[in-house]
Amino acid sequence: MSLLVHLALIGYAAAAAVFSVWLIRPRAALPLVGRVLLLAGLCAHLGSLAGAWHGRQVLSLLVAATVAGYLALDWLYRLPVAGAFVAPIVVAAMVPAHLISSAAHPAGARSAALTVHVVSSTLGTAALALAFGLALVYLGGERQLKGKHPGRLSARLPSLDAIDRIGWKLVAWGFVLLSAAIATGRLVSPFALGPKQGFALAAWALLALLVQARLVAGWRGRRAALLVVGGFALLAGSLVALLASRGVAPAGGA
Amino acid sequence: MAPTFVDVGLSHKQAPIAVRERLAVPKDELPARLDALRSIAGVREAMLVSTCNRIEIFAVAEGANAGAELAASLGPLASPHAVVRNGDEAVRHLFRVAASLDSMVIGEAQILGQVKEAAALAKSTGAAGPLLDRALSRAVAAARRVRTETAIGRGAVSLSSVAVELARKVLGDLAGRTALLIGAGEMATLAARELQGAGVRELLVANRSMAHAAELARQIGGVAVSLQDLPALLERADVAVTSTGSIEPVVTRAMMAQAVKARRFRPVFLIDLAVPRNVEPSANEVENVYVYDLDDLERVAAQNRDLRGGELGRAEAIVEEELRTFLAAQRERSGVPVLARLRQRAQSIAEGEVERALATLGPLSDRQAKSVRAMAAAIVNKLLHAPTQRLRDEAGGPLGTAAAELFDLREDDGARERAG
């Protein structure tokens, strides 16, 4: 891993620590410190990607997109509490993202379909990672309010309704992007059908169910959050399958 | 035994709402309950405070069993929870209750009005007498000082405002939302004001009596609706506040399950301010339905107490100061009869002995007889000087009782001696 990647990782890890401390001790300055650290980490991260981009850095790009997505959401809705959930996920994803070996590329790697596939799957997964973080926040807050013990978590949360609405927007975008990724994936490698594709399809089906249920029957709240958690878990399975298929070894250069 | 203050009761601190709601005394039954209390042996004066959060009997009684008998009058359901306080502790509790230091939400203003209302009823029915009256006057004065001299009431959040804050945690901004008030009592009015302050767009008022609903709706700028349309109203409302006097749940779990489905799972926040509860507790288990009753709101309100710790200390100090003043005056008042009886007894004995001596000594001049009488009075005065001082200084204390026992002074001494 390059120096910039190391700096990005340090920035993300420090932000995760700061957001976690803020959950316990709500000092007003901490969310700002967390945001600055995340932004600094993101700059270093993007710098590393721009300096030596190659196709196998998809997972790393996904992490950067997730961080950028979170910072955008935080700027729009003031969601520091989500930072406490998203930042550790980002840190956990960074290490495997930079250990992917330069295994074989699918045929037509430079084709437009592949570009669309990479971009849409990266952005879609990032959106769903954020929706997953918000779903966890929602479930924690809902548990406290239903249990009649609103504690530190719910004191720092926006309303459950707001979390639900933001999560729904992310799911809707994530679903559209994932649909595009799956469609273009068939073009990139028409005959591939392995665990990666299986997990991705299962996640897509679950999200399709959620989108359908939300639009038709108005599903929201707890059951929607649980479906998002399930959907993201399947998507994570798809990523793990991707890592496994490429072998885990230092990628270098990034 | 001299009459003493007794308090028997339970509050949100001792008993859960499930118990309190079954012990609450409806207003129209209060006079009969006060009569029943007065009929208990040894009970001279009594008043009964029954609110959503407490049921308390403040009494003046004599006899060791009065407290136990008053506690028994609350019924077996109350027994495991009821607290009996005697003497100064009972008065202290009355002062603290009136000053809202024992309330669910410390510093809230409603309890003082409720105590005054209970006192007025007890007085009008003849259940309360001079002792309770004096204690209540002082308790009210202490409560007013607490409100004016500390900021405890300023930072105090009413249960309604706690509830509205929780509703915001679920629903977010309440502007543009629809709220439904079920019941048109005082609590509903307070809640309505809070909701209006939070920007609620539409306030629907449902009540068993359409006239009351219309009146409240007129006051708060809401719309009176029929309670018969409750299922449809619950579908419309984002927040519902219940405060009816019904002893059966008005809002059931089944109604909420149906309403939420019809609302396409949009969340609903139910605030149950009634005792007995108006909302079936299991309604909280329905997805996207949040039910908070008075006990739940207390838990949240308790978080505010720490913030006002300094003001609480000042309020407690004021109550203690007023309590000391009251108890000292009370002791002086109760000590005076012992002193008076002691002096009366001594003078009566001296006068009797002087008359007997004068009869034995034979004819004396007026001046001589006057000297003998003056000597006897001087002996009585000198002998009683120190005891009088001590009894005045420790008015109402154990010395008064000891003196009464030592000299066999009974309350009817004066009358007996006057008759004799």
SS3 readout for B280-308:
CHHHHHCCCEEEEEHHHHHHHHHHHHHHC
B17, B162, B265, best to mutate vs chain A, most A CBs in 10 Å:
B265
Does the pLDDT at position B228 exceed 80?
Answer: yes
Confidence of residue B258 (pLDDT cuts 50, 70, 90): very high
Do A223 and B266 make contact, defined as CB atoms within 8 angstroms?
no
Residue B384 DSSP class: H
Average of pLDDT values for B262-281? 92
Higher pLDDT, A131 or B193: A131
**pLDDT, position B92:** 95
Q: Over the stretch B117-153, which tens digit does the pLDDT of each residue have?
A: 999 999 999 999 888 999 999 999 999 888 878 777 6
Residue B271 DSSP class: E
User: What residue in A sits closest to B270 (Cα-Cα)?
Assistant: A146
Q: How far is B292 from chain A (nearest CA, A)?
A: 7
**pLDDT, position B407:** 79
| Nearest CB to B172; choose among A145, A150, A162 | A162
Would an 8 Å CB–CB cutoff place B282 in contact with chain A? no
Does the pLDDT at position B415 exceed 70?
Answer: no
Does the pLDDT at position B414 exceed 50?
Answer: no
User: What residue in A sits closest to B286 (Cα-Cα)?
Assistant: A146
B17, B159, B168, B170, best to mutate vs chain A, most A CBs in 10 Å:
B170
**pLDDT, position A111:** 66
Average of pLDDT values for A136-152? 87
Most confident of A177-181, A198-202, B155-159, B341-345: A177-181
Query: Which chain B residues touch A222 with a CB distance below 8 Å?
Result: 287-288
User: What residue in A sits closest to B168 (Cα-Cα)?
Assistant: A159
| Nearest CB to B267; choose among A148, A157, A160 | A160
Residue of A45, A36, A33 whose CA lies nearest to A7: A45
**pLDDT, position B310:** 67
The average confidence (pLDDT) of chain A is 79
Is there a cis peptide before residue B276, judged by omega within 30 degrees of 0? yes
Q: Over the stretch B163-180, which tens digit does the pLDDT of each residue have?
A: 888 898 899 989 889 999
Question: Hey, how many other C-beta atoms are within 10 angstroms of the C-beta on B392?
Answer: 12
Q: How far is B290 from chain A (nearest CA, A)?
A: 6
Confidence of residue B419 (pLDDT cuts 50, 70, 90): very low
Does the pLDDT at position B337 exceed 80?
Answer: no
> CATH code for B4-154?
3.30.460.30
Q: Over the stretch B91-127, which tens digit does the pLDDT of each residue have?
A: 999 999 999 899 887 877 788 888 999 999 999 999 9
Q: pTM here?
A: 0.61
Average of pLDDT values for B382-405? 77
Residues of B carrying an active site annotation: 52
**pLDDT, position A249:** 42
**E strands, B198-342, where?**
202-207, 223-226, 239-242, 268-272, 289-293
Name every residue in A having a CB less than 8 A away from some CB of B.
141, 145-146, 148-150, 154, 157-162, 217-223
Would an 8 Å CB–CB cutoff place B16 in contact with chain A? no
- What size, in residues, is chain A? 254
Higher pLDDT, B296 or B197: B296
Question: Hey, how many other C-beta atoms are within 10 angstroms of the C-beta on A46?
Answer: 16
Q: How far apart are CA A87 and CA A67, in angstroms?
A: 8
What b/e string do you get for A209-245 counting C-beta neighbours within 10 Å, with b at 16 or more?
ebbebbeeebbbbbebbebbebbbebbbbbbebbbee
Does the pLDDT at position B306 exceed 60?
Answer: no
| Tokens 């924690």 -> residue | A140
**pLDDT, position B362:** 79
Do B169 and A154 make contact, defined as CB atoms within 8 angstroms?
yes
Would an 8 Å CB–CB cutoff place B266 in contact with chain A? yes
A144, A161, A166, best to mutate vs chain B, most B CBs in 10 Å:
A161
Query: Which chain A residues touch B288 with a CB distance below 8 Å?
Result: 220-222
B279, B288, B306, best to mutate vs chain A, most A CBs in 10 Å:
B288
Confidence of residue A226 (pLDDT cuts 50, 70, 90): very high
Average of pLDDT values for B224-243? 92
**Collapsed DSSP state (helix, strand, coil) of residue B127:** coil
Q: How far is CA B238 from the centre of its chain?
A: 35
The B residues from 162 to 221 touching A (CB cutoff 8 Å) are 166, 168-173
Average of pLDDT values for A220-224? 91
Whether residue B338 contacts residue B403, with contact meaning beta carbons closer than 8 Å, is answered with yes
Does the pLDDT at position B290 exceed 90?
Answer: yes
Confidence of residue A146 (pLDDT cuts 50, 70, 90): very high
Residue of B270, B211, B215, B193 whose CA lies nearest to B237: B270
Average of pLDDT values for B360-380? 87
Higher pLDDT, A172 or A115: A172
Q: How far is A217 from chain B (nearest CA, A)?
A: 6
Angle formed at CA A208 by CA A64 and CA A199, multiple of 5 degrees:
60
**pLDDT, position A193:** 66
Q: How far is B34 from chain A (nearest CA, A)?
A: 37
Average of pLDDT values for B255-283? 93
Whether residue A227 contacts residue A26, with contact meaning beta carbons closer than 8 Å, is answered with no
A144, A193, B105, B291 from B190: Cα distances, Å: 26, 64, 14, 18
Residue of B301, B289, B294, B298 whose CA lies nearest to B19: B294
**pLDDT, position A178:** 86
| Nearest CB to B169; choose among A150, A217, A219 | A150
Q: Euclidean distance between the first and final Cα of chain B, in Å?
A: 24
Query: Which chain A residues touch B284 with a CB distance below 8 Å?
Result: 146
- Ranges of each domain in chain B: 4-154, 159-306, 335-419
Q: Which of B248-252, B258-262, B285-289, B388-392 has the lowest mean pLDDT?
A: B388-392
**pLDDT, position A254:** 31
| The CATH homologous superfamily of the domain defined by B159-306 | NAD(P)-binding Rossmann-like Domain (3.40.50.720)
